[in-house]
Structure 1
Amino acid sequence: HRLLLVLSVLLPLAVGQQVNVTIFTESQCPYCTKLMREQLWPFYITQPGIMNLQIIPFGKGDCQYDYNRNFACTCMHGPTECDLNRLQNCAISYFPRRHLGLVTCIQGLGTLREAFSRCLSRLSPRTQQKLIECSTTQTGELLNYYSMVNTHRTGVKIWPTAYVNGVFFDRSYPMAQKICENTDYC
């Protein structure tokens, strides 16, 4: 009974202390790469469990149905960015709670082939194949479409754009500091 009492007191604190962080990115945006590699990933490593993180890789672009009733997306930095966004969206879909390392690895790379060799090599062959298949088919393009819808709904105009507990985050301000203002865990 004591254990249940302790858990009933501590569990709401743990859940209540998590900070919601939403980041809209583009896979080939240098500012997004800088934010993810220099702020977000190091914070995640040193302060695990604090963020309830949602990454939305799409950016400035659009998706349309083509004449074969398939999605076809275009991205600000060209087709390679759409390819890398697809791979990031597939990683998020397959690893909903543990995708940040993989998404950060893919971020800023030059080609999909480079992302496959540099970022998927530590995964099992079966998982590698699933991610490659997802990122090179309509499955990944549909995930890009969903990210586009989320991006357009919020009216994002600059990348990266971040929200901490639903409040716009000025990226000139250290992200760790802003997150830590919203929790007692830092």
Structure 2
Amino acid sequence: MTLWPRFAVHLLLVMGVSEGSHPKPSCPYPPSQWCRSLQIAIECQVQKQCMELNATRPSPGRPLVEVTLYYESLCPGCRVFLTQQLYPTWTMLQDIMNLTLVPYGNTQELPSGTSPFSCQHGEAECQTNMMEACILHLAGDASLHIIYCMESSTHALHAARPCVALYAPALSWAAVECCAQGGQGVQLMKDHAARTQGLNPTHSHVPWVTIDGEHREEVQEKAMASLFHLVCDLYKARKPPVCTGVQVKLDRSLC
């Protein structure tokens, strides 16, 4: 999946915003969307910063590093990896990587019964897996931010509604609930089941990471140790400054 516009989050990481370019209170967009279009950049008065960031983009048309995470929503190890490795890495390197999330893990399909799935961490995990599958399907560019928000919370499932309201205010919560409580959510989970069960080699644990569609234990170990450095190393075109440590002269004025 493609998640969020390029360079949006970098605006917060690599520079300050001067008094003249700080968005007025009426700017109706969060910082993550300031560089989504010229119209938004003008409305939020950050054209200069967006143009500077655009100039540092990696070469277009180069193959991105494909990262896929197979996980389950209430697995402690998955939550740590997603919140402390995957999300920060994607925030900084979304211009050179494509990210796919597959919430299923060690779930098992049941032939009959009131619930079509049995999850390693109980019914709450089945419900959260399905909720996150629906969010991935419905929330588009905001989905990773919502799932990070949920997985960072004390109770991931209870956090879903406020996280959706925070990161995807235009998305109807009724649509999310309808998906998670109905046939659409079940079908999404079946799709994730087929994808997970089709892994070669078969997954033996989660989190399970594939890079460019392949899983190797030495790569998994590198991903768990520092996904950021792994993605930087694997990207074969001109690396972004955040990978190389090269200083880029941008507007770094402060408020």
Compute the TM-score of the two structures, normalised by the length of structure 2: 0.61
Contact 1:71 1:142 in 2 (8 A): no
Q: What displacement does 1:34 show?
A: 0.7
Residue 177 of structure 1: how far off its partner (Å):
0.8
Match of 1:81 among 88, 101, 125: 125
The CA deviation string for residues 80-137 of structure 1, in whole angstroms up to 9 with x for no partner, is 101110111111111344421112222265363x123431222336522211211122
Which of structures 1 and 2 has the bigger CA Rg? 2
**Distance in 1 separating the partners of 2:170 and 2:145:** 18
SS at match of 1:37: helix
Q: What pairs up with 1:1-186 in 2 under 5 angstroms? A: 13-66=59-112, 72-107=116-151, 109-110=154-155, 112=157, 114-122=158-166, 123-124=168-169, 126-154=171-199, 155-168=202-215, 169-170=220-221, 171-183=223-235, 184-185=239-240, 186=243
Partner of 1:7: none
1:32-51 Cα deviation digits (max 9, x unpaired): 11111111111122223222
Cα distance between partner residues in 1 of 2:198 and 2:63? 27
> Root-mean-square deviation (CA), in Å?
2.5
Q: Distance in 2 between matches of 1:65 and 1:93?
A: 25
The alpha-carbon distance between structure 1 residues 146 and 71, as it changes in their structure 2 partners (threshold 3 A), is farther
1:139 maps to a residue whose letter is Q
Q: Which whole-Å CA distance do the structure 1 matches of 2:146 and 2:211 have between them?
A: 22
Compared with structure 1, are the counterparts of its residues 39 and 111 closer, same or farther at alpha carbon in structure 2 (3 Å cutoff)?
closer
Partners of 1:52 and 1:71 in 2: how far apart?
A: 33
Q: Which has the higher strand share?
A: 1
TM-score (norm 1): 0.81
Alpha-carbon contact 1:27-1:106 (below 8 Å) kept: no
Distance 1:54 1:104, change over 3 A: same
1:26 positional shift: 0.5
Name the aligned partner's letter for residue 159 of structure 1: V
Q: Would you say how many aligned residue pairs link Structure 1 and Structure 2?
A: 173
Return the letter of the residue paired with 1:182: L
Q: Distance in 2 between matches of 1:45 and 1:173?
A: 17
Instruction: Tell me what 2:13 maps to.
Output: none
Structure 1 residue 162: deviation in Å?
Answer: 0.5
Q: Secondary structure at the match of 1:60?
A: coil
